[in-house]
Amino acid sequence: MSEIKKIGILTSGGDCAGLNAVISSVVKAADRQGWQVYGIHDGTDGLTERPLSYEILTPKSFSDTPWPRISGSYLGSLNKGVKMDSQAEMSRRFGEGVKELGLDAVVVVGGDGSMNIVSNYCKNAGVKMIGIPKTIDNDTPLTQFSVGFNTACQVCTDALDSMETTARSHHRALILEVMGRDAGHLAIQSALAGFADVCLVPEIPYSIDGIITKLEDIKKSGRSHAVIVVSEGVKTETGEQVSGAKNLVGEKINGGIGEYLSHALNAKYQGFQTRVTRLGHVQRSGNPTAFDRILASVFAAKAVELLANGHTGVMVGFSNGKFESYPLEQVVACGTSLLDAHSDYVRAAHDLGIYVGELS
């Protein structure tokens, strides 16, 4: 059995729907173990900055509030990356912060980047950690689903439903640019759910001519509108990154491929007027779907159960219909989970007539 009395919880990386359901569920499950929970503010900043920034959470903090039902992070989050050369110093400050608060373990709610960075801090500082995957990109390795993805997919699907009606009224091809970073999970699953005609993802090369052939086929079939989904991580037809923007640690910031596509299509084909919707951060919001709330609840309960049983250094996940846990070292070694171009999602989209690029 564990000797845990006090744990910390933090949310790290881009926010998404379902984070508050995770936080409140961890607090409830930990309270039933008789543990105290410290909510760390603004990702790891609450432990690495001085003064430390945190608050004590109890089930009462959430029981009479709408927090578990809404998106955003009650604790605040951090999405700025960390320079490799400052990792040792950050680990030291993180470890000191944990020690000062007397935390026996930390629950980290994050995506692939956060699992990597914070598990390094924890390893270097000798802190027990359990990870809970969340991200609208769904690119955290080993788990099939991360908290927040399903809600983001619903937001994109709702947008496609709205776009279809106006595309129909104006006989246009409307382009929806969705997030997802370098992974096409959000794009392909939204395209399937929203019955799109074209879906471009970073993992599959495409050609402007291929898209035009699809649009021409739509015209020939007697339909005079179309909807196109493009993932923000898609590059130009010749492989260039569209946006030159970078974050504080020099990582690229995506955005703009929708506009590129619109111009590139118009330059060669005037069969449809095109317009672009860049959905942006609304994809990280919206009331969490039932699926995300269930994922949040079970992940949270499992994280506390693992700690109570003396486990550390693992991430909870969902795979092949089962809730599991995976060593963080294995999660980190897998890097980012990209869309498999031969997956059933891609194959289904192709078989249903969606242009998904030039499949090999």
Burial bucket for residue 342 (CB in 10 Å: 0-12, 13-18, 19+): exposed
CB 349 within 8 A of CB 151: no
Of 71, 143, 146, 254, the residue at the interface with ligand F6P (CB under 6 A) is 254
Question: Is residue 202 within the footprint of ligand F6P (CB under 6 A)?
Answer: no
CB 183 within 8 A of CB 152: no
Question: Is residue 131 within the footprint of ligand F6P (CB under 6 A)?
Answer: no
Question: Is residue 137 within the footprint of ligand F6P (CB under 6 A)?
Answer: yes
Question: Is residue 203 within the footprint of ligand F6P (CB under 6 A)?
Answer: no
83's tokens? 């320079």
Nearer to ligand F6P (CB atom), residue 173 or residue 295: 295
Tell the smallest beta-carbon distance from residue 113 to ligand F6P (Å): 8
Please name the amino acid found at residue 198.
V
Give the number of C-alpha atoms closer than 13 A to the C-alpha of residue 89, restricted to the C-beta side: 7
Tell the smallest beta-carbon distance from residue 182 to ligand F6P (Å): 9
Burial 195-229 (b: 16+ CB within 10 A, else e): ebbbbbbbbbbbeeebbbebbeebeeeeeebbbbb
Q: How many helices (H) and strands (E) does the chain have?
A: 12, 11
Nearer to ligand F6P (CB atom), residue 127 or residue 230: 230
Of 23, 37, 122, 136, the residue at the interface with ligand F6P (CB under 6 A) is 136
45, 104, 112, 137: the catalytic one is 137
Tell the smallest beta-carbon distance from residue 79 to ligand F6P (Å): 4
Tell the smallest beta-carbon distance from residue 305 to ligand F6P (Å): 28
Question: Is residue 282 within the footprint of ligand F6P (CB under 6 A)?
Answer: no
Distances in Å between the Cα of 202 and the Cα atoms of 28, 134, 239, 340, 341 are 40, 21, 10, 11, 10
- Is there a catalytic annotation at residue 31? no
Segment contacting ligand F6P by CB under 6 A, of 57-65, 174-182, 190-198, 257-265: 174-182
Question: Is residue 14 within the footprint of ligand F6P (CB under 6 A)?
Answer: yes
**3 state DSSP class of 106:** strand
Burial 23-32 (b: 16+ CB within 10 A, else e): bbbbbbbbbe
**Where do we find the tokens 């990154």?**
241
Nearest CA to 264 out of 205, 207, 187 is that of 207
User: Judged by CB under 6 A, how many residues of this single chain contact ligand F6P?
Assistant: 13
Q: What are phi and psi of 106, to 5 degrees?
A: -130, 135
Question: Is residue 180 within the footprint of ligand F6P (CB under 6 A)?
Answer: yes
**Which pairing describes strands 273-278 and 314-319: parallel, antiparallel, or unpaired?**
unpaired
Segment contacting ligand F6P by CB under 6 A, of 129-137, 211-219, 223-231, 313-321: 129-137
Tell the smallest beta-carbon distance from residue 186 to ligand F6P (Å): 7
Question: Is residue 79 within the footprint of ligand F6P (CB under 6 A)?
Answer: yes
Segment contacting ligand F6P by CB under 6 A, of 23-31, 40-48, 132-140, 167-175: 132-140
Tell the smallest beta-carbon distance from residue 135 to ligand F6P (Å): 5
- Sheet with 198-200, strands from edge to edge, namely 198-200, 226-231, 172-178, 273-278
Nearer to ligand F6P (CB atom), residue 30 or residue 331: 331
Tell the smallest beta-carbon distance from residue 180 to ligand F6P (Å): 5
CB 198 within 8 A of CB 211: yes
Question: Is residue 253 within the footprint of ligand F6P (CB under 6 A)?
Answer: yes
Which residue ranges make up the site for ligand F6P (CB under 6 A)?
A: 14, 79, 111, 135-137, 179-181, 232, 253-254, 284
Active site residues: 137
